[in-house]
């Protein structure tokens, strides 16, 4: 079986690529290597997969790749993935997440692919209050330019299943964290800023809630869905570990033995979703998957990974400083 993995040099895509290679699949990675992509994430499987640097909106080059590689299955991760960046500029989100997904679906349809795994997100459902959960039948109600672009890609996949009988499975994971995450997302931002004794920007009052899923658990869920999932179905992938942002920040500060005085409450993210929470009965019952890593274990492992890999993170810092300035404002 040969997998064509888009976005395989990204955070979750690389974790999945390593698992797929180690599980004996033939692997072709297609990645544009944007600021978020880095082949260093794949160094432990170097030489064991084929790599193409390509934009997923480049139909001609993609057709050439599909024709020469003849993959059986597409696992589609490639996306602009950060909510704050979609607020600064939505254009690349529309291009990559919507037009790129449509391009891939068209090619997959034309070559009659065996299976198309469309990686969506829990953010397509919109936000919850303090109570309740989203199940796979909950209506979509996305709120940010990012989540709207992901909901569009999610719906396009399901439309290609319904209209053209393309075998599509839609996966909606919750917030991932762990090694190799680009330090624009909450957990690596906090680790990095705390290590440098810099102010830690917490949006609003830090009361928003996310469901934290360790990245290797997510990769395992995706692999198991390839083996056991049913075409046309949607599966939520969540851990059950819900935390307020402020509690995530305090946990990291405690592990690093840093003072809570580093916390700085900053202007809230515009349109900030309050809470996400997934009902995962379907994936547990039909696929037999359940998250293995508790938040306490996962966060300890993540902090340790960043401490052990400061070289990698420091190489990202120059680009990050400019970005941090634009998202958090001057002097933060
Ligand atoms: P990421 O930003 O770390 O990686 C995205 C990858 O896609 C990068 O390697 C980048 O180079 C590549 N890419 C971007 N635009 C491209 C283009 N036009 N053509 C080809 N490649 C391109 O993202 P991630 O956090 O690993 O997320 C992967 C997928 O999972 C995304 O679809 C995201 O929406 C989804 N998701 C992420 C999370 C999370 O918490 N990180 C949770 C749920 C779903
Ligand atoms: O829920 C799944 C989604 O999780 C994925 O689809 C997205 O690709 C991924 O980026 C993530 O989105 P979030 O917006 O939830 O993640 P982020 O790490 O950006 O923020 C997590 C929470 O922390 C959110 O409530 C905003 C808050 N936050 C974030 C940053 C970067 C802060 O308070 N301060 C910060 O500096």
pLDDT digits (tens, 9 = 90+) for 77-87: 999 999 999 99
DSSP-assigned letter for residue 190: H
Residue 216 has pLDDT above 80, yes or no: yes
Query: What's the CA gap between 232 and 222, in Å, rounded?
Result: 15
Whether 283 has a pLDDT exceeding 90, the answer reads yes
For 306, phi then psi, to 5°, come to -65, -40
How far apart (Å, rounded) are the C-alpha atoms in residues 238 and 227? 19
pLDDT tier at 317, thresholds 50, 70, 90: confident
Assign residue 236 a region (left: φ > 0; alpha: ψ between -120 and 50; beta: otherwise).
Answer: beta
Q: How far apart are CA 17 and CA 42, in angstroms?
A: 8
| Burial 107-124, CB ≥16 within 10 A → b, else e | bbbeeebebbbbbbbbbb
The verdict on whether 311 is a catalytic residue reads no
* CA 32–ligand 2 middle distance (angstroms): 23
Cα distances (Å, whole numbers) of residue 268 to 174, 209, 232: 21, 14, 38
Residue 258 has pLDDT above 80, yes or no: yes
Which residue has the least CA distance to atom 6 on ligand 2? 121
What is the predicted pLDDT for the residue at 205?
98
Proportion of the chain above pLDDT 90, given as a percent? 96
Q: What is the mean pLDDT of residues 182-207?
A: 97
How many angstroms is it from 185 CA to the middle of ligand 2?
6
What residues does each domain of the chain span? Answer: 2-177+214-237
What's the rounded mean pLDDT across residues 152-178?
98
Which pLDDT score is estimated for 214? 99
pTM of the model: 0.98
The per-residue pLDDT for 332 is 43
Catalytic residue (choose from 146, 160, 177, 235): 146
- pLDDT band with cut points at 50, 70 and 90 for residue 319: confident
CA-to-CA distance for 183 and 230, rounded, in angstroms?
Answer: 35
Q: In terms of CATH architecture, what is 2-177+214-237?
A: 3-Layer(aba) Sandwich (3.40)
Pairing relation of β-strands 2-6 and 200-203? Answer: unpaired
Residue 247 has pLDDT above 80, yes or no: yes
160 labelled catalytic? no
């Amino acid at each position: 079986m040969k997998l064509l993995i888009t976005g395989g040099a990204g955070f979750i895509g690389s974790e999945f690529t390593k698992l797929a290679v180690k599980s004996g699949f033939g692997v072709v990675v297609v990645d544009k290597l944007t600021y978020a992509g880095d082949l260093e994430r794949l160094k432990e499987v170097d030489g064991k997969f084929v790599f193409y640097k390509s934009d997923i909106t480049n139909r001609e080059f993609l057709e050439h790749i599909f024709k020469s590689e003849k993959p059986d299955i597409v696992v589609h991760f490639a996306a602009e993935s950060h909510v704050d960046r979609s607020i600064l500029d939505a254009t690349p989100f529309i291009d990559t997440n919507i037009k790129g997904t449509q391009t891939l679906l068209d090619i997959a349809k034309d070559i009659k692919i065996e299976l198309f795994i469309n990686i969506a997100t829990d953010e397509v459902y919109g936000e919850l209050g303090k109570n309740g959960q989203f199940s796979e039948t909950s209506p979509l109600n996305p709120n940010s330019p990012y989540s709207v672009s992901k909901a569009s890609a999610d719906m396009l996949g399901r439309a290609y299943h319904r209209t053209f009988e393309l075998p599509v499975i839609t996966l909606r994971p919750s917030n991932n964290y762990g090694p190799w995450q680009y330090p624009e997302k909450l957990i690596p931002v906090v680790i990095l800023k705390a290590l440098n004794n810099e102010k830690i920007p917490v949006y609003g009052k830090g009361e928003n809630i996310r469901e934290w899923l360790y990245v290797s658990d997510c990769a395992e869920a995706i692999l198991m869905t390839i083996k056991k999932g049913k075409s046309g179905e949607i599966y939520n992938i969540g851990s059950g570990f819900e935390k307020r942002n402020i509690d995530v920040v305090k946990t990291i500060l405690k592990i690093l033995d840093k003072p809570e005085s580093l916390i700085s409450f900053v202007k809230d993210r515009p349109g900030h979703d309050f809470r996400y929470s997934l009902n995962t009965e379907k994936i547990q019952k039909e696929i037999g998957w359940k998250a293995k890593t508790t938040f306490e274990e996962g966060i300890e492992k993540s902090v340790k990974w960043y401490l052990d890999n400061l070289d990698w993170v420091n190489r990202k810092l120059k680009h990050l400083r400019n970005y941090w300035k634009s998202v958090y404002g001057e002097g933060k």
